[in-house]
């Protein structure tokens, strides 16, 4: 992803500006801990509750943060109604997620947005960096696809692994055999989500009860959208 680090920079600037140097953050669909790792690098006094359902990614995250008291992990399926009671009761300063919500069905994501309002303190922020293509700009979307494909080809030539190749590497790792099998059982039978445009996210977040919703960063097909509690 050509501008991946730029998105993280924008997300964390918002967190620092709204919550100071020691925010309490919910890392939603945390994966291997990408957001929390950058959060601690920028704000060492921050704390994070990292949530995911993927056994493989959580195993990696727990291993990479072993001994770090600033982070706690919660196993929860965000697509299930009522998953939020599994989280700590104390409200968060920020809820952050990246390249995750486009995997969800629209009705499920809309319900999750409603659940998130109860997790944030007044004035807290929800920040979502994800694919949000505009269906009204198909020519621009096609241009962006060419740009992204060109970047990916250059990255592969330099030795980068794409998502499928990365999972193939995981499948060959004996120490992750049980976790890999559990991950495949979850996702191989899943229903593919649909990426929604910015207007859809804005409307659903207002419907969920957020006070303000705006775009902090965007490219042709991706965006960082921010909702204030």
Domain limits, the chain: 4-136+178-228
Reply yes or no on whether the pLDDT at 79 is more than 90.
Answer: no
- Indicate the pLDDT class of residue 173, thresholds 50, 70 and 90: very high
β-pair partners for 4: none
Q: What does the buried/exposed string (b/e) look like for 133-165 if buried means 16 or more CB atoms within 10 Å of the residue's CB?
A: beeeeeeeeeebeeebeeeeeeeeeeeeeeeee
Percent of the residues in the chain that have a pLDDT greater than 70, as a whole number: 97
Reply yes or no on whether the pLDDT at 163 is more than 70.
Answer: yes
- Indicate the pLDDT class of residue 190, thresholds 50, 70 and 90: low
Q: What does the buried/exposed string (b/e) look like for 43-75 if buried means 16 or more CB atoms within 10 Å of the residue's CB?
A: beebbbbbbbbbbbbbbbbeeebeeeebbebbe
pLDDT of residue 85: 62
pLDDT single digits (tens) 110-142: 999 999 999 999 999 999 999 999 999 999 999
pLDDT single digits (tens) 89-110: 789 999 999 999 999 999 999 9
Distances (CA, A) of 77 to 94, 111, 117, 136, 159: 19, 13, 18, 32, 33
pLDDT of residue 81: 75
What DSSP state is assigned to residue 135? T
- List phi, psi (to 5°) of 191: -100, 130
Reply yes or no on whether the pLDDT at 84 is more than 70.
Answer: no
pLDDT single digits (tens) 143-158: 999 999 999 999 999 9
| pTM metric for this prediction | 0.93
> In terms of pLDDT, which residue wins out, 163 or 138?
138
Q: Which fold has domain 4-136+178-228?
A: Rossmann fold (3.40.50)
Contacts of 121 (CB under 8 A, 6+ apart): 91, 92, 93, 229
The CA distance from 182 to 186, in Å, is: 6
pLDDT of residue 90: 83
Average pLDDT estimate for 161-183: 93
Reply yes or no on whether the pLDDT at 41 is more than 90.
Answer: yes
Q: Closest Cα to residue 11, out of 211, 216, 200?
A: 216
> In terms of pLDDT, which residue wins out, 22 or 81?
22
The CA distance from 27 to 68, in Å, is: 15
Mean pLDDT, all residues of the chain:
93
pLDDT of residue 207: 98
The CA distance from 143 to 220, in Å, is: 9
Helices (H) and strands (E) in the chain, counts: 8, 7
pLDDT of residue 91: 93
């Amino acid at each position: 992803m050509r501008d991946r680090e730029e998105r993280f920079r924008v997300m964390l600037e918002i967190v620092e500006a709204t919550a100071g140097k020691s925010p309490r953050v919910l890392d939603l669909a945390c994966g291997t801990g990408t957001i929390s790792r950058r959060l601690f690098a920028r704000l060492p006094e921050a704390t994070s509750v990292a949530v995911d359902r993927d056994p493989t990614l959580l195993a990696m995250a727990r291993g990479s943060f072993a001994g770090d008291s600033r982070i706690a992990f919660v196993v929860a399926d965000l697509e299930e109604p009522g998953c939020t009671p599994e989280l700590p009761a104390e409200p968060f300063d920020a809820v952050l997620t990246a390249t995750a919500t486009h995997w969800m069905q629209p009705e499920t994501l809309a319900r999750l947005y409603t659940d998130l309002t109860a997790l944030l303190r007044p004035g807290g922020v929800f920040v979502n960096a994800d694919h949000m293509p505009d269906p009204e700009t198909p020519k621009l979307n096609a241009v962006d696809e060419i740009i992204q494909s060109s970047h990916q080809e250059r990255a592969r030539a330099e030795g980068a692994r794409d998502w499928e190749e990365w999972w193939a590497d995981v499948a060959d790792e004996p120490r992750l055999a049980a976790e890999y099998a559990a991950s495949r059982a979850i996702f191989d039978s899943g229903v593919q989500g649909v990426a929604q445009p910015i207007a859809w996210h804005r409307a659903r977040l207002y419907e969920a009860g957020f006070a303000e919703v705006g775009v902090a960063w965007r490219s042709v097909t991706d965006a960082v959208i921010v909702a204030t509690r």
